[in-house]
Amino acid sequence: MFGQPTSPRIRAALAGTLSAGLVFGLAACGGGGDDDSASTDASASAIDCAPYTKFGDLKGKTVTIYTGIVTPEDTPHIESYKPFENCTGASIKYEGDKSFETQILVRARAGNPPDLAIVPQPGLVKQLVATGKAVAAPADTAANVDKFWDKAWKTYTTIDGKFYGAPLGASVKSLVWYSPSEFKDAGYTVPTTLDELKALSDKMVADGKKPWCAGIGSGDATGWPVTDWMEDMVLRTSDPDTYDKWVNHSIPFNGPEATAALDAVGGYLKNDKYVNGGLGDVKSIATTTFQDGGLPILDGTCSLHRQASFYAANFPKGTKVAEDGDVFAFYLPGKDATTKPVLGAGEFVVAFADRPEVQAFQTYLSSDVWANTKAKLSSGWVSANKGLDPNNLTNPIDKLAGTILLDPKATFRFDGSDQMPAAVGSDAFWKQSTQWITGQDTATTLNNIEKAWPK
């Protein structure tokens, strides 16, 4: 899933950031004394600098940060640095670049890296560490991560025992989109277990509907939504530990666990009674773009669509995405109501310099103070930082995603295909998933992916 989910995220930002983000951000800040960061030219006196005194005086120092986050999603980022800049005197130089993912490697190898980089995949963090130019995160940052994040997060950037970067934003993939009004009219309830989800789907079939719609078309990345489906099902038909083993290839890709998971996906996506609402038969999933995959919910030809939180931005302008609106999402339930595996993704801050001001800023970005500041400024953004108050998130879907991430019973797991070697994660897994949709059987599909795993 290299690159692909970034663009929906950027689009998600397009939809929300400029309009809702700033407006909500400004409005939400009215009362607070310690978080008045929304106003661009807020003087230092307007901000409560107490949380920043520990960073010391950094007057005249500059920190460069390089990211793939570009206009307009960059605005809330830059705004969220203001309190730090105002209180410590440091200045942050932000550089957004659409070709970040290839350029950061070039820059690191050429010996010209930025001070900090916002890296969207654990795999890329590994590659950057392999260049020898990345430096381990300071103890203060590590302490923040221990305090504010589920321990799974720390492992994604811990390489050879050294911890390289704190998580920044996060996204939730274990979501099912639906129409609240359809649910109300037909008397459906949001399922809380996998069995209930199946029962709900069958009930919809009995009501004469094709409940599920899906689309996996995405240019040469066609197939990636199936990989998300399968990862979600490995987490549910097995358990998170098995998932880790499967992702790290300490159990084979085509073992019984994986077979059970892909067959479970097949129970939905390859079931011609269930799919493809408003779009055709099972095979039409392969040619429908992922952007179009969930749109039939709006015209009532489809009821359920599994896709990440960023899908909110794909609905046409004027669609109300809320629990009482046109569309909303519910958590893709676990095997039973007590287990709550969450599949998601996120980005990490990796440093290439260990000057005090760089470390101070790095620590600031890993703090609850920053997470809450950022939450008020943006729309279509969440973090798994436990210090984040979900009430600071500005729109309903962010709030839902935030609540799922921060649920103490939830077990978070990072998108597996992002962590697998490129030959699998961004080639064979996609290609074979597409073949699987167009008719190839589960065993052949998994065997082919296993064969593609670099020895």
- What does the binding site for another protein look like in residue numbers (CB under 8 A)? 2, 95, 97, 107, 110, 112, 218-223, 276, 278-281, 283-284, 286-287, 301, 421-423, 426-428, 431, 434, 438, 452, 454
Rounded to the nearest whole angstrom, what is the least distance from the CB of residue 194 to another protein in the complex?
Answer: 28
- List, in order, residues 6 or more apart from 317 with CB less than 8 Å away: 15
Contact 240, 341 (CB under 8 A): yes
β-pair type (175-178, 305-306): antiparallel
CA distance 295 to 121: 28
Give the chain's end-to-end CA distance (angstroms, integer): 21
CA distance 276 to 130: 44
Tokens coding 434: 């597409």
Whether the CA torsion 30, 33, 37, 42 is positive or negative: it is: positive
Rounded to the nearest whole angstrom, what is the least distance from the CB of residue 359 to another protein in the complex?
Answer: 24
Of residues 379 and 434, the one with the C-beta less far from another protein: 434
Rounded to the nearest whole angstrom, what is the least distance from the CB of residue 434 to another protein in the complex?
Answer: 5
Of residues 173 and 210, the one with the C-beta less far from another protein: 210
CA distance 296 to 311: 13
Contact 20, 395 (CB under 8 A): yes
Of residues 23 and 186, the one with the C-beta less far from another protein: 186
Residue 208 has phi, psi (to 5 degrees) of 85, 20
Rounded to the nearest whole angstrom, what is the least distance from the CB of residue 220 to another protein in the complex?
Answer: 4
Contact 120, 76 (CB under 8 A): no
Of residues 53 and 444, the one with the C-beta less far from another protein: 444
Of residues 17 and 276, the one with the C-beta less far from another protein: 276
How far is Cα of residue 199 from the mean position of the Cα atoms in its chain?
28
Rounded to the nearest whole angstrom, what is the least distance from the CB of residue 84 to another protein in the complex?
Answer: 22
Specify the 3-state DSSP secondary structure of 414: strand
CA distance 150 to 412: 8
Rounded to the nearest whole angstrom, what is the least distance from the CB of residue 78 to another protein in the complex?
Answer: 15
Contact 260, 252 (CB under 8 A): no
- List, in order, residues 6 or more apart from 423 with CB less than 8 Å away: 452, 453, 454
Of residues 124 and 197, the one with the C-beta less far from another protein: 124
Integer angstrom CA distances of residue 107 from 15, 63, 134, 348, 430: 31, 16, 12, 18, 29
Rounded to the nearest whole angstrom, what is the least distance from the CB of residue 226 to another protein in the complex?
Answer: 12
Rounded to the nearest whole angstrom, what is the least distance from the CB of residue 8 to another protein in the complex?
Answer: 17
Rounded to the nearest whole angstrom, what is the least distance from the CB of residue 396 to another protein in the complex?
Answer: 30
Of residues 105 and 260, the one with the C-beta less far from another protein: 105
Specify the 3-state DSSP secondary structure of 197: helix
Rounded to the nearest whole angstrom, what is the least distance from the CB of residue 200 to another protein in the complex?
Answer: 22
Determine the residue type at 11.
Answer: R
Tokens coding 449: 């992916």
Of residues 25 and 223, the one with the C-beta less far from another protein: 223
Find the helix or strand (DSSP H, E) in which 147 lies.
helix 139-148
Rounded to the nearest whole angstrom, what is the least distance from the CB of residue 81 to another protein in the complex?
Answer: 18
Determine the residue type at 87.
Answer: C
Tokens coding 291: 């952007």
- List, in order, residues 6 or more apart from 167 with CB less than 8 Å away: 145, 149, 153, 156, 157, 346, 347, 348, 366, 383, 384, 385
